[in-house]
């Protein structure tokens, strides 16, 4: 056999080997996908989450990998944020210690699997409550701690105050999202004229507004507030109060553990009621000692024995307010006037102030 032929043959053999390798790896990729689907099926856990958390001595909370205001580590590596506060409230109610929380950052893809498999006890990760998720993922939404929705950011001096003022405006949006469709639908439905510029990223769309190329930029309002913090002059821009889509964000628990579901729901309700009755982390001791309001008395465990019914100590409500504060305090500290985001309460104001946040009665 000549040298040349040997070379050709071995080259062919090599290619054949490589190709078959490609085959094998394709096949194994398939198997990996299959195991993933199997893992996604809800794990049957018999032990109650409450007992598990008490036994462990800490609550494991699923959060974002870092969304300022909602859940992000501070300069000392301690997780802070509006969603983290809700987890801290639950820990305070269950363990009497709001700091007994371990935050586990999760991607959007991982979040439900982590909850179903029992890796986390509670998911507070800017997660939208939808029928499909409730029906198909084996999870339950225990309330809405932030009413988000698609909004519009405009320059304050543009004179645009309502959605109707946007007729004929140039609007910047991120490409290929439902945001883009919602927007076109809304304008079409209302017979308004629209010039849409479609960017690859939200940051580019926001830059177009900042430079004056567009009259408005649209996205989920929480996202818009976060984009605004990066502007050179954030005080010159604001959001139109109206929203054109519903994105209710809330805490999520595993299906099939009603006791734990109730605890999460009522920890959140306590924060809402506390704001309504004017109980804050600063005056909670005073309120506990002297308030005549029976609602406050039941909430703080002076009367009633409400909390014992959930399998908690009578001071669960007191503990939440003392260590985390009420809903308004948490909002202001993380998202509102006390934070760089400076988000208006809007739909997240209490029902008594014209918002949607409504604490079910504690009695």
Partner 1 sequence: MNRTKIRNLTAQTGLILLILLMFAYFGFNYIRNISQRNIEIGYGFMDDTAGFSISQTLIPYTEADTFGRTFVVGLLNTLLASVISIILATLLGFVVGLMRLSSNKLMSQTALFYVELLRNIPPLLHVLFWYQVVFLNVLPPFKESFKLGEWLYINVRGITIPSFVPQDNSIPFHIITFISLCAVIYVGIIKKQMVLRGIHKRLWPWQVLLVLVPVAYAWLFKPYSMVLPQITKFKFSSGMTIRPELFSVVVAMATYTSTYISEIVRSSILAVPKGQLEAAKSLGFPSYRRLQLIIIPQAMRTMIPPVTNQYLNIIKNTSLGMAVAYPDLTAVFAGTTLNQTGRALEVMALVMVTYLSISLVTSLLMNWYNSSIIDRKGDLISKEDIPVE
Name the site residues for partner 1 (rule: CB under 8 A): 1-2, 5, 8-9, 12-13, 15-16, 19-20, 22-23, 26, 168-170, 172, 175-177, 180-181, 184-185, 187-188, 194-200, 204, 207-208, 211-213, 215
CB of 143 to partner 1, least distance (A): 32
H/E element holding 323?
helix 316-323
CB of 211 to partner 1, least distance (A): 4
Of the two residues 15 and 282, which places its CB atom closer to partner 1 in the complex? 15
CB of 199 to partner 1, least distance (A): 5
The dihedral over CA atoms of 266, 54, 127, 344, expressed in degrees to the nearest 10, equals 50
Using DSSP, state whether 5 is helix, strand or coil.
helix
CB atoms within 10 A of CB 225: 24
Of the two residues 15 and 47, which places its CB atom closer to partner 1 in the complex? 15
CB of 3 to partner 1, least distance (A): 11
Of the two residues 197 and 344, which places its CB atom closer to partner 1 in the complex? 197
Bridge partners, residue 104, by sequence: 62
| CA–CA separation, 182 and 169 (whole Å) | 16
Closest by Cα among 85, 238, 78 to 153: 238
Of the two residues 184 and 259, which places its CB atom closer to partner 1 in the complex? 184
User: Backbone phi, then psi, for 126, in 5-degree steps?
Assistant: 25, 55
CB atoms within 10 A of CB 284: 24
Of the two residues 153 and 362, which places its CB atom closer to partner 1 in the complex? 153
CB of 15 to partner 1, least distance (A): 6
Pairing verdict, β 59-63 and 122-123: parallel
Measured CA to CA in angstroms, residue 265 lies from 225, 310, 359 at distances of: 27, 11, 10
CB of 287 to partner 1, least distance (A): 52
Of the two residues 2 and 31, which places its CB atom closer to partner 1 in the complex? 2
Of the two residues 50 and 240, which places its CB atom closer to partner 1 in the complex? 240
Taking 3-state DSSP, the helix, strand and coil percentages for the chain, each rounded to the nearest 5, stand at 45, 15, 35
CB of 96 to partner 1, least distance (A): 48
- Contact (Cβ atoms closer than 8 angstroms) between residue 302 and residue 288: yes
| CA–CA separation, 60 and 83 (whole Å) | 13
CB of 168 to partner 1, least distance (A): 5
Of the two residues 56 and 188, which places its CB atom closer to partner 1 in the complex? 188
| CA–CA separation, 246 and 356 (whole Å) | 12
* DSSP annotation of 350: B
The two tokens of residue 151 are 């909004």
């Amino acid at each position: 056999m000549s040298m040349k032929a040997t070379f050709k043959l071995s080259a062919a053999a090599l290619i054949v080997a490589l190709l078959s390798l490609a085959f094998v790896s394709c096949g194994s990729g398939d198997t990996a996908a299959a195991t993933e689907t199997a893992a996604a099926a809800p794990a049957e856990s018999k032990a109650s989450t409450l007992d598990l958390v008490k036994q462990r001595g800490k609550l494991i909370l699923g959060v974002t990998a870092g969304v300022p205001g909602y859940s992000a580590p501070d300069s000392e590596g301690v997780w802070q944020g509006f969603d983290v506060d809700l987890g801290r409230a639950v820990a305070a109610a269950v363990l009497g210690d709001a700091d007994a929380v371990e935050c586990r950052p999760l991607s959007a893809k991982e979040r439900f699997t982590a909850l179903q498999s029992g890796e986390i006890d509670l998911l507070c990760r800017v997660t939208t409550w939808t029928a499909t998720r409730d029906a198909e993922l084996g999870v339950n939404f225990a309330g809405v701690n932030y009413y988000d929705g698609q909004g519009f950011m405009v320059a304050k001096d543009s004179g645009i105050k309502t959605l109707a003022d946007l007729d004929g405006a140039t609007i910047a949006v991120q490409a290929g999202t439902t945001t883009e469709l919602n927007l076109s639908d809304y304008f079409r439905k209302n017979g308004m004229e629209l010039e849409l510029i479609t960017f690859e990223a939200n940051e580019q769309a926001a830059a177009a507004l900042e430079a004056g190329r567009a009259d408005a930029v649209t996205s989920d309002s929480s996202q818009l507030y976060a984009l605004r913090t990066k502007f050179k002059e954030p005080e010159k821009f604001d959001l139109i109060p109206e929203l054109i889509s519903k994105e209710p964000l809330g805490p999520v628990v595993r299906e099939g553990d009603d006791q734990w579901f109730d605890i999460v729901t009522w920890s959140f309700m306590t924060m809402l009621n506390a704001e309504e009755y004017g109980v804050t982390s600063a005056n909670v001791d005073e309120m506990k000692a002297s308030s005549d309001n029976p609602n406050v008395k039941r909430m703080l465990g002076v009367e009633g024995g409400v909390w014992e019914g959930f399998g908690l100590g009578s001071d669960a409500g007191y503990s939440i307010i003392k260590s985390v504060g009420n809903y308004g305090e948490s909002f202001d500290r993380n998202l509102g006037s006390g934070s760089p985001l400076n988000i208006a309460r809007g739909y997240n104001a209490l029902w008594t102030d014209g918002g949607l946040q409504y604490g079910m009665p504690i009695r």
